[in-house]
Amino acid sequence: MPDTADLTLYLAAPRGFCAGVDRAIRIVEMALEKWGAPVFVRHEIVHNKFVVDALRAKGAVFVEELDECPPDRPVIFSAHGVPKSVPEAARAREMIYVDATCPLVSKVHIEAERHFEAGLQLVMIGHAGHPETVGTMGQLPPGEVLLVETEADVATLAPRDESRLAFITQTTLSVDDTAGIVAALQARFPAIIGPHKEDICYATTNRQAAVKAMAPEIDALLVIGAPNSSNSRRLVEVGQKAGCAYAQLVQRATDIDWRALQGARAIGITAGASAPEVLVNEVLDAFACRYNVTVKQVQTATENVEFKVPRVFREASA
């Protein structure tokens, strides 16, 4: 029998799509309109299976490397950014390519270049193997970017010159964890130069703040997002550190562990920056089928950021 107990759902705001994700998806859709199917996309355009499957149904073909793309079809680079070698290879093959890198990731790339030109070696705070980290480190020659993932990693760093360092960060990290790593870097390398403006993006920061705000009110937290989505996984960690006894990442409503939620009377719901609102609504509907639901919104910020699509599409629509 369904449980008809009363349940309060605390819905985080902001949640879900950020401006960079929205732009990247629009770029694939506009490419399909401009050039027709198939359009190739190097790596998942954003880390969400629902989004990727929807674009695949429209004619997008997702590949891991450029050499899987035929030279006569357009290719799009994902929102996470790519190493410099990728557009260079596309130009060498005379391919049509569109870079859907989030402008806030591009800002970090420009920052890295500027520090390199000033003769500084870079330290990147990020997750090894994540496409954004690979793309950012690939902006500079090998050895020019040293990667740290934890405070412990700082102790083992062996830079060329301890007085000639700067640091950058992946845009989707935990704000609190990153602050600890930055403090460790500054303690060991007092001369290290940081970003003019924090590299962690506004959307990551805002979504983490909303989880922290709702944490004292809830018995459990559900984060809607993909397992390979860095910002979604960080939301789970933020919830756990803020005191949520149960915090779980779910891709969609079918993944909810209802038994684990038995006895909970207040549950927080948020979505990572690459999760569409349709999946949030799906989860809300699933709860409404099982409980007498009251929904309360926890709003900690208002987002009105919008990024322009590349010129090739603006010219087409002009």
Would 194 be classed as within a structural domain? no
Please give the Cα distance from 2 to 12 (Å, whole number).
Answer: 26
Residue 144 bears catalytic tag: no
pLDDT band at 196 (very low <50, low <70, confident <90, very high): confident
Distance CA 102, CA 84 (A): 15
**Same domain flag for 223 and 283:** yes
Spatial separation of the C-alpha atoms in residues 205 and 195, rounded to whole Å:
16
Q: What's the gap between Cα 8 and its chain centre?
A: 28
| Domain assignment of residue 129, given as a range | 104-188
Token pair, residue 249, equals 């990442």
- Nearest of 62, 44, 31, 5 to residue 310 by alpha carbon: 31
What does each C-alpha distance from 145 to 15, 57, 80, 284 come to in angstroms? 32, 38, 17, 43
What CATH number is associated with residue 254? 3.40.1010.20
Of 50, 78, 102, which residue constitutes the final position of a domain?
102
Confidence of residue 34 (pLDDT cuts 50, 70, 90): very high
Q: Establish if 89 belongs to a structural domain.
A: yes
Position 1 scores a pLDDT of: 38
Give the model's confidence band at 48: pLDDT under 50 very low, under 70 low, under 90 confident, else very high.
very high
CA distance 206 to 134: 25
130 and 168 belong to one structural domain: yes
Q: Are residue 212 and residue 279 in the same domain, yes or no?
A: yes
| Judgement on whether residues 71 and 139 belong to the same structural domain of the protein | no
Asked which of 156, 188, 220 is the last residue of a domain, the reply is 188
Catalytic residue among 132, 151, 237, 303: 132
Query: Range with the lowest mean pLDDT among 68-82, 279-293, 302-316?
Result: 302-316
Smallest Cα–Cα separation from 107: which of 81, 76, 78, 141?
81
Full-model pTM? 0.94
Structurally, how many domains does the chain consist of? 3
Number of neighbouring beta carbons within 10 Å of residue 163: 10
Q: Element (H or E) spanning 60, and its range?
A: strand 60-63
Instruction: Please give the average per-residue pLDDT across 203-214, as a whole number.
Output: 97
Report yes or no on 137 lying in a domain.
yes
Q: What confidence score (pLDDT) does residue 209 get?
A: 97
**Phi/psi of residue 32, nearest 5 degrees:** -65, -35
* Mean pLDDT in residue range 39-60: 97
Q: Output phi, psi for 57, to 5 deg.
A: -65, -25
255 lies in a domain? Answer: yes
Q: Is residue 284 part of a domain?
A: yes
Residue 316 has pLDDT above 60, yes or no: no
